[in-house]
Amino acid sequence: MWAIFRQFFLLGLVSFGGPAAHIGYFKQRFVDELNWLDEQRYGSLVALSQVIPGPSSSQVGFAVGYHRGGLGGAVAAFFGFTLPSFMLMYLLAVSSTNALQQSWFLGLIHGLKLLAVVVVFDAVLSMARQFCRQWLTRVLMLFAATLSLFFLSLWSQIFILLAAALVGRTFLTAQTEESLPSGGFSSRFSFGWLGLFALLFLLSLFWLTSQTELLRIFAQFFHTGALVFGGGHVVLPLLEISVGQSLGSERFLTGYAMAQAVPGPMFSLAAFLGAELPSQSPLLGALIATLGIFLPGFLLLLGVIKGWQSLMYHGHFRGVINGINAAVVGLLLAALISPVFSSAVGSLVDLVLVLAGFIMLKQLKLSILWVLLFFACAGMALMAF
């Protein structure tokens, strides 16, 4: 468990760039470097994170931890990846934020955003080679990327995934079935976890109007976490509806901006908002809000992950996943273009640094830590001059 926690904690310290970048970081570390799972299994976990509510990249990390060490490994992965951003967002909520205006800090953030461009670009290339080998899967990838760029919304994402699943089921079905390996996953879903999710969701509807402050905070964030697909920036409008009025728009948007300036999951915004809401205990409010927003997605993941992975051995279902995987690559491509590239690369120097970082990572085969150090130093140097 400690090894899992350590790996995810280190990633939680440096994983800038949002969900698409996180998926790239996870693939780089756990597939390419540590070989904890292969690309096919990783692709199935990414696809699963796209079709159930919750924070997509955190669900992928949770699933990787589960694959490696069972429930204990999943919990270790979650705490490791989330702890750095939780602590930063909590401290920013209860203390001065002057550090965000220091030139060295802004340079560091800029350099790490450029690193995110390299990581996401590498993830898009490698996943495209893995999941978009046929002309039809390439068409699905381009269709998903184009639609996502021009019509970005929750409904467009759901439409993209459903259309890709239908095309995959019809045209990309595997010709042969595979039998489960010895000791393979159960084909049944875990209805205990799904039942717990349903119970808490129903209770949260009643707790939304509770007079108990902390119970109401849990309900607000649980309800949000249960309804958002894809995570990241998609969670903003739902949180604004549920808690934005209590804080005021200026403070709410300040927290959102800070969540983009720290590493780790965007859902760590809950720590900032939770610390602002209760009148007596900011730390307890931050903990309850963070638990509330992450818990629904993790309960759903635990409920379906065994059945999902066993279904991968059926030809028709593998066709569905082939279609979804191609669409996911398209969604990652769209995220690479906007907001990852568009928000990070603003000059020719930035573009040169991105190309240099890609060469360091892929041609020179340097460790991601050396590439990280390069971008951190380059970003601070740019601000200094």
Give the pLDDT band (50/70/90) at residue 184: very low
Give the Cα separation of 136 and 132 in Å (integer).
Answer: 8
Say which residues have a Cβ less than 8 Å from residue 336's Cβ, sequence separation at least 6. 20, 117, 120, 121, 124
Residue 177, pLDDT above cutoff 60: no
Question: How confident is the model at residue 353, as a pLDDT?
Answer: 95
What is the per-residue pLDDT across 130-154, written as a single tens digit (0 to 9) for each? 789 899 999 999 999 999 888 866 5
pLDDT digits (tens, 9 = 90+) for 355-381: 999 999 888 988 777 888 899 899 999
Neighbours of 286 (CB within 10 A): 28
pLDDT at 193 over 60: yes
Tell me: pLDDT of 241 over 80. Answer: no
Q: What is the pLDDT of residue 63?
A: 95
- Between 178 and 269, the more confident residue is 269
Nearest Cα to 205, choosing from 215, 219, 185?
Answer: 219
Residue 312 pLDDT: 67
Given a cut of 90, is residue 229 above it in pLDDT?
Answer: no
| Average pLDDT score over residue span 178-185 | 47
Average pLDDT (107-117) is 82
Q: Return the residue matching tokens 């990414």.
A: 46
Residue 183 has pLDDT above 60, yes or no: no
Between 143 and 321, name the one with better pLDDT.
143
In whole angstroms, what is the distance from residue 195 CA to residue 307 CA? Answer: 16
Mean pLDDT, the chain, rounded, equals 84
In this structure, of 76-85, 152-161, 294-303, the range with the lowest mean pLDDT score is: 152-161
Angle in degrees, CA 28, 108, 59, rounded to 5: 40
Identify the three-state secondary structure at position 231.
Answer: coil
